[in-house]
A and B are shown apart, each in its own frame.
Chain A
Amino acid sequence: MPVNFMPTPQELFRFAPEMLLTLVATIIMVLEPLSGADGKRKFAVISFLSLAAAIALSVAAAGDPGAAFSSMIVVDGFSTFFRILVMVAGVLTILISTNYLRMEEHESGEYYALVLFSIVGQCIMVSANELIMLFIGLECSSIASYVLAGFLRDDKRNNESALKYFLLGSFATAFLLYGVAWIYGTTGYTNLSEIRRVLLDPNSNQNMVVISAATALMFVGFAFKVSAAPFQMWAPDVYQGAPAPVTAFMSVGPKAAAFAMFLRVLMTAFEPVKDRWEPLLWTSALATMVIGNFAALRQTNIKRLLAYSSIAHAGYIMVALTAHSDIGTAAAMFYLASYTFMNIGAFAVVTYIARKGERHVEIQDLAGLSQRRPVVAAMLTIFLLSLTGIPLTAGFFGKFYIFKAALDANMVWLAVLGMLNSAVAAYYYLRLIVVMYMQAPSDEMEELPAPSVGIQAAMFAAAAATVFLGVFPSVVLDYAGKSASFIR
């Protein structure tokens, strides 16, 4: 046990991004009631700037990696990668949210504060080195997301979405917490490195039944958060019901953070008992891919389609987790980065075409988009091609490295089944492209005004990142490869 409980300045600096965002979010909450109806816009600007500053702080903190707060959090290459990723997802979310909220007449400071709180939670999740800390981060992120999902409180769909998310989410976190308790009970530790040490110690005489039970309980919690089968049921309903920009955020930020903590727990503390996890991961990965892809085939609502698609993508990332290697970890990191950009980009387009009250979220609403808004159609095409996994987009290399990792780990069947799944996926993504480019717009369609500056910026940035990662994947992949081996 450390002697001194007071954090040193060095430790505070490592935690600075989270502290900054918490402070800014709190200030927004305080200022909110004081600002008039016209003053809401400044909150978007403030949160945007604070996220930019937090990204800069994360980069600075990465220059001096190490643990903080009695080893409860750790700043390493891995956590820096995910910290920046969730913050970038936050920036893009804010860009696509402002106009949406104004259109729905719901622009207010709380929204931005909640996004920031959620990001703080995710940052803690990705840098937690300790199960309780990890749980706190998860709750912080989740509770903010529950509220965001029901943000338009007069909208029935929003209410339904938020309630479902909250009830099932609480159910899942209970399992996770119960698993943590069992682990603490049998090993005496919640720190990941200590748990690993105990599990590796041949003299510690762990009861494997207890370990298995704890594994199962924790797996339930993690699998729920990443929407992996059989705990994916909530995702389509919640994603469809929540406001489009919130869905965009939920499908990338919390998911990336959940995968990050899943990876860290799996690759450090529980690495010695990885054979416990492997059958679960294997089965879940396959089931997740199959359910996601096949259910997506028959969807007519774009948000619901993208919800199933995001389940399918979680399945691919689960393949990387199953590989249980540094290459697999790097592949999952790269995939999550690619997925963040292409998915948030696709949701940016959905947010744009949905219009007020989200009346236009059916696939047929895309008809003739190539004529009505050629640039938007081209952008969505890039995102969809990337989600399909076409070469020279980010999605291709993501899948490429994941399946390579699976093959390297001798999981030939899983890799083959995964590739078949990604072939099926082409059907429903290309269907959207066909509707956009090869169907004439119907006469009743209302005029589409030019997208707002925020949506334009988010679309272009996401498209640029998608293509960049597809053409120069090594920039990110080299970094991921270097930070994939955790300090164990």
Chain B
Amino acid sequence: MVKLGRIFFAIPLGVFGIQYLVLANGEAAFPQSLPGQPAGTFLLMSPGLSCSRSV
């Protein structure tokens, strides 16, 4: 179960990382950068940052 959990947990992280690398082109990809900081300053992986869905 640990192995299954780790695989299912790790693969999405890789996908999120690739998504951010692909989308890391400015404000559109990082709408929630800290106030006063340029967009994209915080290259954090956070699912849902650029999403408009609830599930």
Co-assembled chains A and B: no
Q: Which residues of A contact B (CB under 8 A)?
A: none
Q: Which residues of B contact A (CB under 8 A)?
A: none
